Amino acid sequence: MVNTEEILLLIIGAFISGSIGLLCSLFLEWNRNKNELKNISKAFLLDIEHVEQKINPILTAHKIAGTISGHSMLLQVIISLIQRGNPNYYLSKEFPLYPKNGAYYVFQKDMIKLDFQTVDKLNEFYKKIIYADNCLQDYYNMTSTKTEDIQKYELQSDFFNSLTNAEAEILELKEILETNVF
């Protein structure tokens, strides 16, 4: 016959085992979430470094050009010069500044798992990059007529301004993402 002490010990034992199981489950879930955030941050960090490698030569050449920056073909000349110096540098109508399979598009649903400040900064950065890419694609689609030269110059100007603004955000964004990774 089972007495009340044995029943009480069984209940306490079941409660302790359930609590331990719950704690283990919570710890594993926390660890999985932490690793997921680390992986998302790492993907964005690598993506931003890749974008940075693409825009730095353009912005450096643009700063050097300085006085001739009013010409509507400057962007085309800069890209051609960069490609001559580095045959592995691809930027054209077929190879956009930011690809459709970039981390921003791939991890857009997962970005919400990051903190609000990081999400906000990532969105602002990528809006500028995507806007610059749209300007570049529109620039490539234009022919050279007097009217379109004015439009090309405006697109070119918007392109450089957008890249310059995006470049200014890179360091802070990389620091934020690195704190999530390490």
pLDDT at 130: 96
pTM exceeding the 0.85 threshold for the entire prediction = no
Dump pLDDT digits (tens) for 22-50: 888 888 888 888 888 899 999 999 999 99
Residue 6 belongs to a domain? no
Residue 18 belongs to a domain? no
Dump pLDDT digits (tens) for 117-172: 999 999 999 999 999 999 988 888 886 666 677 788 888 889 999 999 999 999 99
Residue 21 belongs to a domain? no
* Domain hosting residue 177, numbered range: 37-181
pLDDT at 31: 82
Q: CB within 8 A of 55, min separation 6: which ones?
A: 97, 129, 132, 163, 166, 167
DSSP, residue by residue, 140-159: HH----HHHHHHHHHHHHHH
The number of distinct structural domains making up the chain is 1
Residue 14 belongs to a domain? no
